[in-house]
Amino acid sequence: MTAPLLILASASPRRYELLTQIGVSCRVETADVDESPLADETPEALVSRLAQQKAQAVWQRLAATPDGLFLPVLGADTLGVLDGELLLKPRDFVDAQALLGRMSGRWHTIFTAVALVTAAGTSVVLNRNAVKFRSVSDAEILAYWRTGESCDKAGAYAIQGRGAVFVERLEGSYSGVMGLPLFETAQLLAAAGIKTM
């Protein structure tokens, strides 16, 4: 097994897979941070703050261990926005139906921020994507809900799964919508001396 090049401050299997895809081995350490927005905080500021807080929380926790910390920590956060409102995880089917119904035939925005904490400091990049859904019927929403895929996904869909059939158009980064924009991530890692591929 290859020694990890960094620590991923995320429990997301998609982020782990995306890092592996570009040849970066990592170790997963989750961060527990309050994800509540601050008063008057923009979605861009919120997603950037959360990515940074996740990476810094893991960095600080591991730095306090007897062995210290020698690996960079990568944190990320993704948020969807429609009509100025955050697209959160649905509470139940009624909530998912409302979310997907509002997105039907319309554009929404997905922001993903990536933060890298090293001994030299913290760097954060923001990725913005526009996603257009085709018209989605109530029957399709119900069938999709029954797959179980939308239950724990922000915006009630996964572009890397069956939810991809709803996406008519994407302007931006597919991996960014999944939760880790590889172009920006590779740039952050390269600046810290971490090779990809």
- Alpha carbon distance 52, 158 (integer Å): 24
Q: Contact 176/56 with Cβ under 8 angstroms? A: no
Q: Contact 126/173 with Cβ under 8 angstroms? A: no
Catalytic status, residue 77: yes
Going by C-beta distance under 8 Å and a sequence separation of 6 or more, which residues neighbour residue 183? 173, 175
Q: Which of 34, 40, 77, 95 is catalytic?
A: 77
Q: Please, which residues bridge with residue 81 across strands?
A: 86, 109
Going by C-beta distance under 8 Å and a sequence separation of 6 or more, which residues neighbour residue 177? 78, 110, 112, 129, 131, 159, 170
**DSSP conformation class of 159:** T
Q: Known catalytic residues?
A: 77
